[in-house]
Structures are given as structure tokens and as C-alpha cells.
Amino acid sequence: MSAALPTVSREIQLASRPLGRPAQENFRIAESGVPELQDGQVLVRNQFMSVDPYMRGRMNDAKSYSAPFRLDAALDGGAAGEVIASRSDAHKVGDVVVHQLGWREYAVVDAAAATPVPAGLAPTSAFLGALGMTGLTAYAGLLKVAEFKAGDVVFVSGAAGAVGSMVGQIAKAMGASRVIGSAGSPDKVARLLDLGFDAAFNYNDAPVLEQLQAAAGEAGIDVYFDNVGGEHLEAALSVLNAGGRVAMCGAISQYNSTEPAAAPRNLAVAIGKQLTLRGFLVGGQRQHAAEFAAKMAVWLRDGTVRYDETIVDGLENAPQAFMDLLDGANTGKMLVRL
């Protein structure tokens, strides 16, 4: 290894576990040594890291679908950056890769755990969003999990966020008869209409049920893509047509809760309406990644799908970016530029 390579990297560690809303005191910035590269590894200088709602669950010391973050150790998650040293034939110096060791400046990554970012298709950041995990979540959740078909009326919550904004636009591209979105501010509602949603409402303005009924009218809804849970899910169950499908993607309204959810109270309507509610994880949808990537590349190129990013600068600001994401400060994908 050349002497010019970094030996120390700044990282964000979990200092304590939050009860309810996370706070700055739950995080600390620290320095740690960069381990020497072994055969089959690459050293990556991270350029972007992703902050994602699921990371809130990993701050708890509770079994969930991904392992809890360890106390006094660096957090991890999606990141993209440039290979600055390589002991692998798979990636050479100068390549840009996506990997799972975010929340730090430099990462020693097993070559097999790094995915190359194709040159020229889109800016690097897009591979953590529209062309990455976020986009695949939207694509597979809508088409494979909810079994969307042309002519369906689709409702998506968290619609101005990273996943939600993709869901609405993919539904339109694939022939939805109507797409309805909900979000938490007037600016976000305006953005949804600009992105081609047929109707959008601010869930803070009035009860979700009332606004969803007004937006759906007589047609009702056929598919609900749930990013929020709680009151949103309850309202959607009421408005879904017979045979309707729900892709249960997330329940962000409950991630900081210390009490069990109060809604939905009407789950039994699923019986009479013969609804399908299916939870899913993007990790279980990787078999659709190539199909998704090919379609999304075309949609981005021809302008069918557009994506927003909210970018925060500086590793030291990553904890605040994460907390702001949970509070809805982002439009589109929330990223930290290192």
C-alpha cells in the first residue's frame, strides 16, 4: 500500500440507545484506524452515505429483520464512493462502488460486497436512491408484492419521500388509472402534483380517511403502498375495493413510538373485501434487480421518472440528517455527502 493512503478514518458511533425519538447524545463522532487491506478487499473513500428509516429500528437492542447497531461501534448502511486502493481483480483504483459500510469516511470492503456503479448513466448519488435500494423497493413492492396491473387506482403514503415518489411515478408509467399520494407539507403536495400524481393531500390538514375518500371518489383504490402504517393503513383498508392489495413496506409513524400502535382498528374489513396484505423486504426482491435497473434506466433517460434528493454536507452532520429524515425534512432521497 502506498504511504499516501489514510490510516485513520472519522466515523459515527452509537453512543447510547434512544427511547422514543433519537437525539444527538445517542451518536458520537470518533476516529478509528483503517485496517490494512487483505487480499480480496478494496479501500473506499466514501462520497455519499444513505440515511434510512430502518436504521431507527437498528438503534434498539431488539431483534428485528436486521441486526441492532452495536454500542460504541460505527453504524453502517448504504454508501457509495471511490476505490482508492485495491487488492482485488474485481474493482480497480478509480472505480465507484456501492457497499454497506456507510457512516465513515473510509471503508475497507470485501470486493464481493461492493457493487460497481456503471459510468455515465446517472450521478453516483442516484445509486443510493432511484437506481438503488430505494428504487428497487418501490418497483418490486408495487409490481411483485402488490401485483399492480394497468388500470388500478394506487394510493401511496410517504409519497414525497424516496420510495413513495418512485412508487407513484412507476404506477403512472405502468398505466395506473389514478395515483393518489399523501405527504406532510403543502410544498410536498405541490411537488407530487408536479411529478404527475393525479391527487395529493397533506395528512396534517384533516383526517386521512376523509381526505383519501375525497381523493378516491367513487372509484375507490385497488392498491395501497404503505410506508406509514397506523391511521394511514386504517384509512386505506376502509377505502380499498374488493380484492384490493396492500404492499406493507414500512410503518414510519410508529418507529419512534414507545406504545403499541392504536390503529388500524378495522383489520377485519380485509375478510369481507377479500384483501391481500403482504409485508416484504427489499432484500427478498433482489431477483428483480436486473429487470428493475433496465427499466429505471430508460425511465430516467426519457424523463418518465424524476427524482429529488435532499443532500446534507459533512459526516459530522449525518446524525442530524438521520433525525431530520424521521421528522420529514427531506423531499426525495435523504443523503449525506462526505
Assess 198 for contact with ligand NAP (CB under 6 A): no
- Helical packing angle, 289-302 and 162-173, nearest 10°: 80
How many CB atoms sit inside 10 A of residue 193's CB? 12
Secondary structure class of 38 (helix, strand, coil): coil
CB of 228 to ligand NAP, least distance (A): 4
CB of 205 to ligand NAP, least distance (A): 12
Assess 125 for contact with ligand NAP (CB under 6 A): no
CB of 54 to ligand NAP, least distance (A): 5
CA distance 314 to 7: 20
Assess 51 for contact with ligand NAP (CB under 6 A): no
Is residue 298 packed enough to be buried (19+ CB in 10 Å), middle (13-18) or exposed (0-12)?
Answer: exposed
Residues 28, 30, 54, 174: which binds ligand NAP (CB under 6 A)? Answer: 54
CA distance 156 to 168: 7
Secondary structure class of 236 (helix, strand, coil): helix
Options 79-87, 156-164, 234-242, 269-277: segment touching ligand NAP (CB under 6 A)? 156-164
**Which of 81, 129 has the CB closer to ligand NAP?**
129
**Which of 199, 282 has the CB closer to ligand NAP?**
282
CB of 82 to ligand NAP, least distance (A): 24
Assess 16 for contact with ligand NAP (CB under 6 A): no
Greatest Cα-to-Cα distance within the chain, rounded to the nearest angstrom: 69
Residues 163, 216, 237, 246: which binds ligand NAP (CB under 6 A)? Answer: 163
Q: Which residues of 212-247 are buried (b: 16+ CB within 10 A; e: fewer)?
A: beebbeeebbbbbbbbbbbbbbbbbbbbbbeebbbb
Q: Which three cell numbers stand for residue 219?
A: 372509484
CB of 230 to ligand NAP, least distance (A): 7
Residues 96, 162, 246, 335: which binds ligand NAP (CB under 6 A)? Answer: 162
One-letter amino acid at 183 equals A
Assess 14 for contact with ligand NAP (CB under 6 A): no
Residues 111, 131, 228, 335: which binds ligand NAP (CB under 6 A)? Answer: 228
How far is CA 153 from each of CA 46, 85, 177, 216, rounded to the nearest angstrom?
Answer: 40, 50, 5, 8
Residues 80, 114, 227, 236: which binds ligand NAP (CB under 6 A)? Answer: 227
The C-alpha cell 450521478 sits at 123
Options 1-9, 38-46, 161-169, 172-180: segment touching ligand NAP (CB under 6 A)? 161-169
Task: Give the per-residue contact string, 234-273, with ligand NAP (x = CB under 6 A; - = no).
Answer: ---------------xx-xx--------------------
Report the half-sphere exposure of 183 (CA within 13 A, side-chain side): 27
**Which of 77, 95 has the CB closer to ligand NAP?**
77
Helix segments in 174-258, DSSP class H: 186-194, 208-216, 230-239
List the interface residues with ligand NAP, window 56-115 (CB under 6 A): none
Residues 1, 242, 281, 298: which binds ligand NAP (CB under 6 A)? Answer: 281
Is residue 43 packed enough to be buried (19+ CB in 10 Å), middle (13-18) or exposed (0-12)?
Answer: buried
Assess 280 for contact with ligand NAP (CB under 6 A): yes
**Which of 41, 50 has the CB closer to ligand NAP?**
50
CA distance 194 to 209: 24
- Site residues (vs ligand NAP, CB under 6 A): 52-54, 134, 137, 158, 160-164, 183-185, 188, 227-228, 249-250, 252-253, 280-282, 325-326, 328, 330, 334
